[in-house]
Structure 1
Amino acid sequence: MNSLLTLDETAEQLRKSPAQLRWMIHCGTAPNSAKIGGRRMFRVTDIEAYIEAAFASSAA
Structure 2
Amino acid sequence: MASTTPAFTLLDTEAAASLLGVSRHTLEDWRWKRLGPPWIRISRSCVRYDLDALRRWLSEHTVEEITVAS
**What TM bracket, shorter-length normalisation?**
0.7 to 0.9
Larger RCO (CA under 8 A, 6+ residues apart):
1
**1:26 and 2:5 aligned:** no
Q: What is the TM-score of this pair, normalised by structure 1? A: 0.86
Q: What is the TM-score of this pair, normalised by structure 2? A: 0.75
Runs of 4+ residues deviating >4 angstroms: none
Instruction: Give distance in 2, aligned partners of 1:30 and 1:6.
Output: 14
Identity of aligned residues (%): 14
Q: Which amino acid aligns with 2:41?
A: K
Aligned partner (choices 48, 55, 58) of residue 51 of structure 1: 58
Q: Which amino acid aligns with 1:59?
A: E
Count of equivalent residues? 58
Q: CA RMSD in A?
A: 1.3
Which of 1 and 2 has greater Rg?
2
Instruction: Give distance in 2, aligned partners of 1:28 and 1:59.
Output: 24
